[in-house]
Amino acid sequence: MQNFIRDIIEADLESGKHTTVVTRFPPEPNGYLHIGHAKAICVDFGLAQAFGGRCHLRMDDTNPDAEDVEYVEAIQRDVRWLGFEWGEPMYFASDYYERLYEHAVHLIRIGKAYVCSLTEDAMREHRGSLTEPGKPSPYRSRSVEENLDLFARMRAGEFAEGAHVVRLRGDMAAANMKLRDPAIYRIKRAPHYRTGDAWCIYPLYDYTHCLSDAFEGITHSICTLEFENNRDLYDWVLAQYEVSDVASPGTVPCRPRQIEFARLNLTYTMMSKRKLLQLVEEKRVQGWDDPRMPTLAGMRRRGFTPESIRAFCDLIGVAKNNSLVDVGKLEFCIRDDLNRRAPRAMCVLDPLEVELVDLPVALSSLAAPSFPAELELDGTRRLPVSERVFVEREDFADPPPARWHRLSPGAVVRLRHLGLVRCEEVERGADGAVQKLRCRYLGADEATAGTKAKGTLHWVSAQDALDIEVRIYDRLFDVEEPESLDQLNPRSLVVISNAKLEPSVAGAVAGASFQFERHGYFCVDPDSSTERLVFNRTVTLRDGWAKEEPRAREHDARPESREATRPEEQTRAPSVADLEGPVRARAEALVSAHGVSEAVAIVLASDATLLDLVEAAFTAGASGKAATLVANLVAGDLRARLSGTRGPLGFGGRELAELGGLVAAGTVTGAVAREVLGRLVEKGGSPADLVRELGATTLGQDALVLLIDEVLAAHPDEVARYRAGKTALLGFFVGQLMRRARGKADAKAAEELLRERLG
RNA sequence: UGGGGAAUCGUCUAACGGCAGGACGCAGGAUUCUGAUUCCUGUUAUCUAGGUUCGAAUCCUAGUUCCCCAACCA
C-alpha cells in the first residue's frame, strides 16, 4: 500500500540519505493499547518490514505517576498478538535517564538550558498567549555555574517538588508556543516502576523523545498529527548536539526525522486513553479486556483476529486528513476473515419448541459439513435429531409480514441439513403467546417433499442441546462521536443465559471462533467452564432481512425529502481599484497598458520585487503579447519557485523580456518557457542560449506528425476507447505527445492534428 | 488576535500539470440448504471564487470550513 510516508522513505533511500530504515513504536505504559495504537503499530512496524529495516519497541516511560509494569506486559502481549516482533532488546526511555541527564548538563554548559524557579502559575503567565509573546523568566540569566550547581542539587534531592525546573533557552516570542522555553526536567518525588527511588527528577517528553530516537539510530520517527507543533522543538533540541559516533554528552548518533500522520477515529468508539481508563476505574465496563472495549485485549476477547485488524489498518490507509472511519469497515474485515476460518454451528438464542411429526425413526443423527461447500474447507460434525427441536422464536410469525421466508401457519421451510417441514399447528398459552409448534416432516429435499421451501432455519435437537450462556455485545456508545460517558449504550451487553447449542461444539476451548449460522460469529469466552460454555458475539452476519424488514412492514411510503439549500456565499473577485497607494497606479498600468488580468496585477502589486521585475522587463522591451506573457509567468511560475527562500535573482528584466519575445514569436512554447525560467532561477544565463542548449525551439509540422504517429501506435487501447466515444482521452494523447516532445510541441496544433487523425 | 496542519464519492483513500481510480457502504441482478458467502452491474466526489496553462484535484491569489498548540502529561 502506498502512502506519503512510504514516498518519503523511498526518496530517502534513493537519494542515499539512508541505507536502512529504523522506526519505533513508543507507547507510554499508562494504559492498554487500543485499535488506534494498532494503526500506529502497523505503520511503524509495517514500514520497517516493507523496507527490510527494524522497528524498536520503546516504553516512553518518563512519568512515574501513571506508569506500571502491568501495562508494559500488556503492551508486549498485544504487539506480539497483533503479529509484530521487535527483536532484542526492548527499549525503555527510563534506561536513558543517566545519559539524558548528561545531555541536559551539556545544554546548560552551552547556555541553551537553565534552571527556572518560577512557580507553575508564574511560568504560565510568563508564557504569554497564542497571540501575545511571552516574557523571559527572571531566572533566564543565571550563570552556567549556578545552573549546573542547581541542577546537580535538584538531582540530589535538595529541593521540594515544584521548586525548580530545567527549561530550554528557546524564544519567548516564538509564534510556536512550544518554543517558549519549554521545561525539560521537573522534580517529582515519586518512585518509578523501573528505576525505583534512584531519581527524583524526571525528563519531559519533548526533551526525552527526540534524544531517545537519536540514541537508537531511528531514521524516521513517525507519530500522530497533534505532535506537528512539537516538531520544531524536536529539531531544535537535536540541533544542539553534534552528530558523531562517539558517545558523549555533546553528541548524538543521528538526526531522525519526525513525520506525522492522522490518528484513527472510529464511529461509535471512544479512543481517548484517559476516558478508557475512566471506564475501567468507574466499572462501567468489566476491565481493560471487556469485549466492548476498543482495546486490543478487549477485541481479542471479543473474537477479533490479528489478521482482521491488520487488514483493517491496510484498508483505511495513512494520510494527514482528520478522518472518522466508519466502524462498519472494521466489521467488514472481521467478517471477511472469520468467514474463512470459523466452523459453522447452529445455536438457538431464544428457543421455541417444535414437535416434528412423521420424522423417520431411522433418522437419529446426521452428518453436516462444517463449512459451506463453496469455501472448499474440510470438516464435518454430527447433528443429533429428535422429535423435539428448538427453533428461533423470531423465525415464526403470525401473521407473516410481506416477503416472509420463515415459519408461519401453513408455511413450508427447510430445517438446515435436516429437511423440509410444514407448520401445521400452533399452540398458544392463555395470554396468546406461542408456546409450541407442530410441524410435519416432509422429506429430506424438495424432490422427496414434493414442494419448495421459502427459507432455511437453524435448529437444535431439544434433548441433545447444550445449555450455554451467550453475551450479545453491541456498540458501547449510542452516538457516532461519543464525547462523554453519559452516551453509553445501555444495551451494549445483553446476556442470554438459556441459549441452546448443538452438542458438537462441546469441548471448544477459550478463544475458539464459530459461526452460529444466521446469527453471526461467536467465540468461547475464558469465563467458560467444562459444565457451561460462555460465548461472546464478535459480530453479526450481514443481515439483508434486517434492512428489508422495515420496508416490508410499512408499505406506506414515506417519500418527500427537501434537499438542503446551501446558502450562497458569493465572494466578489478582487479588483485593482481596491488597492491603495502608489502600487495602485502601477497595477492599473499593468492592466490597461499591457493586457494583464486584474488577478495577476493584484498578485504582482502585493510583491514589490516581482512588480519591479516585471516593469524592468517592460523597460527592456517586452511589449504586447510578450509583456502579458512575462507578467503571467512572473506572477505564477516564478512566484511559486521563489516561495520560501529568496536570494538575489541571477537574472533581470532583460532576460524576461527576451524570454517573452521568444514565446510571442512562436520560437518556443509556453511549456519550454517555464522550463527555461526554472533554469534561469537556478543558474541564470541568457534565455536564447538556454533554448539553444536545450534544442528547444518549437517543432515543425513534419516532426509533429511523426510524433503523433508514434503516440497513437504506442497506445492502441486508448485509441480504440477514444473512437468508442471516450473523447476525454484527447487530453491524454496531448499529454503523451508533450512528454515525448519534451514540451516542444505546439499543443494547439497538435490537438488539431490529433483530432483529425482519430476521426 | 498568533502559529502549525488539512480539505477528493455517504465513508476511507489514490492520481510526474494529461483517462478523477480503488475499497467499504448503498441499489439492482445471478447463484445459494445461512435473507450469509461468492459473482456480476450500477451509483455518487475534486471546499468556494478568480487567475495561469493547449490542458488544473495538482501551480498562483483571495476566501470558507475543520483540526492542533498557552501541563512541571505523552
**Averages of pLDDT over each 10 residues, chain A, 759 residues:** 93 95 98 98 97 98 97 98 97 98 98 98 97 97 98 98 98 97 98 98 98 98 97 98 97 98 97 96 97 98 98 97 97 98 98 97 94 94 98 96 94 98 97 97 94 96 98 96 95 97 97 98 97 97 88 49 36 76 88 91 89 92 91 89 71 91 91 89 87 87 90 87 82 89 89 86
Task: Tell whether A646 and A666 lie within a shared domain.
Answer: yes
A643 part of a folded domain: yes
* Same-domain pairing of A365 and A488: yes
Which residue's C-alpha is at the least distance from the C1' of B7? A321
Query: Is residue A683 in a domain?
Result: yes
Same domain as A749, residue A639: no
Q: How far in angstroms lies nucleotide B26's C1' from the CA of residue A545?
A: 15
Residue A715 has a pLDDT of 87
pLDDT of amino acid A728: 81
Q: What is the pLDDT of residue A156?
A: 98
In angstroms, the CA A82 to CA A38 distance is 8
Q: A699: exposed, middle or buried (C-beta count within 10 Å: 0-12, 13-18, 19+)?
A: buried
Q: Quote the CA–CA distance of A592 and A596 in Å, as a whole number.
A: 8
Q: How far is CA A575 from CA A506, A546, A678, in A?
A: 81, 58, 30
Asked if the structure places residue A470 within a domain, the reply is: yes
CA of A374 to C1' of B39 (A): 12
Query: What is the distance in angstroms measured between the alpha-carbon CA of A731 and the sugar C1' of B18?
Result: 5
Q: What pLDDT is recorded for position A240? A: 98
DSSP string, A58-92: EE----TTT--HHHHHHHHHHHHHHT----S--EE
DSSP label at A325? B
Q: Which residue is nearest to nucleotide B55 (CA to C1')?
A: A731
Whole-angstrom Cα distance, residue A606 to residue A622? 21
Using the C1' atom of nucleotide B67, identify the protein residue whose alpha carbon is closest. A322
Distance CA A37, CA A44 (A): 10
Å separating the CA of residue A257 from the C1' of nucleotide B66: 27
Q: A161 in a domain, yes or no?
A: no
- Cis amide linkage into residue A503, ω under 30° from 0: no
Does residue A737 share a domain with residue A611?
Answer: no
Q: Which residues contact A395 (CB under 8 A, 6 or more apart)?
A: A352, A406, A407, A457
Q: For position A726, what pLDDT does the model report?
A: 80
Q: Which of A645, A677, A694 is the last residue of a domain?
A: A694
A625 catalytic per annotation: no
User: B8 C1' – A319 CA distance, angstroms?
Assistant: 13
Instruction: Note the strand B nucleotides within 7 A of protein beta carbons.
Output: 1-8, 10-20, 22-27, 32-38, 48-56, 59-64, 66-74
Q: Name the nucleotide with the smallest C1'–CA separation from A185.
A: B72
Nucleotide nearest A518 (Cα, C1'): B34
Indicate which residue of A142, A178, A273, A471 is catalytic. Answer: A273
Identify the DSSP state of A34: B
| A722 lies in the same domain as A685 | no
Quick one: A649 and A706 in the same domain? Answer: no
Give the max Cα distance, chain A: 109
Nearest-CA residue relative to C1' of B53: A670
CB neighbours of residue A484 within 10 Å: 10
CA of A371 and C1' of B41: distance in angstroms?
Answer: 29
- A214 falls within a domain: no
Same domain, A560 and A603: no
User: Rounded to the nearest 5°, which phi and psi values hold at A548?
Assistant: -85, -30
Which residue approaches B37 most closely, CA to C1'? A339
Chain segment A462-474, per-residue pLDDT in tens = 999 999 999 999 9
What pLDDT digit, counting tens, does each position of A142-156 carry? Answer: 999 999 999 999 999
pLDDT, position A572: 65
Q: Which nucleotide is nearest to A419 (CA to C1')?
A: B33
pLDDT value at residue A562: 29
Residue A639: its pLDDT value, please? 87
Residues A546 and A609 reside in one and the same domain: no
Q: Are residues A584 and A676 in the same domain?
A: yes
Active-site annotation holder among A6, A10, A28, A307: A28
Nucleotide nearest to A274 (CA to C1'): B73
Instruction: Write out the three cell numbers for A525.
Output: 469466552
Instruction: Considering all nucleic acid strands, name the nucleotide whose C1' atom is nearest to the C-alpha of residue A161.
Output: B72
Active-site residue, selected from the candidate residues A112, A155, A263, A341: A263
Within-domain flag for A554: yes
Distance A39 CA to B17 C1' (A): 33
Which nucleotide shows the minimum CA-to-C1' distance to residue A119? Answer: B72
Residues A439 and A471 both lie in one domain:
yes
- Pick from A501, A533, A566: which residue ends a domain? A566
Last residue of a domain, one of A566, A599, A628: A566
- The residue range of the domain holding A494 is 323-566
Give the CA-to-C1' distance from A674 to B17 in angstroms.
12
Nearest nucleotide from residue A418 CA, by C1' atom: B33
A310 CA to B72 C1' in angstroms comes to: 38
**Residue A468 is part of a domain; what is its CATH number?**
2.40.240.10
Same domain, yes or no: A434 and A380: yes
Instruction: Name the closest residue (CA) to the C1' of nucleotide B24.
Output: A329
Per-residue pLDDT at A557: 32
pLDDT at A550: 80
If one counts the domains in chain A, the total is 3
- Residue A150: inside a domain, yes or no? no
User: Among all strands, which nt has the closest C1' to A737 (CA)?
Assistant: B18
- Taking residue A315's Cβ as centre, other Cβ atoms within 10 Å add up to 14
CA of A424 to C1' of B7 (A): 62
Give the residue nearest to nucleotide B50 (CA to C1'): A573
Same structural domain, A686 and A705:
no
Is A109 annotated in the active site?
no
Concatenating the DSSP letter of every residue in A483-537 gives: -SGGGB-TTSEEEEEEEEE-GGGTTPPTT-EEEETTTEEEEE-TT--SS--EEEE
Q: Say which CATH number the domain at A717 has.
A: 1.10.10.410
Distance in angstroms: CA A258, C1' B4: 15
**Burial of A331 (C-beta count, 10 Å sphere; 0-12/13-18/19+):** middle
Q: Is A28 a catalytic residue?
A: yes
Asked whether residue A172 is domain-assigned, the answer is no
Strand segments, DSSP code E, in A149-285 are 165-168, 183-187, 201-203, 220-224, 242-243, 251-252, 257-261
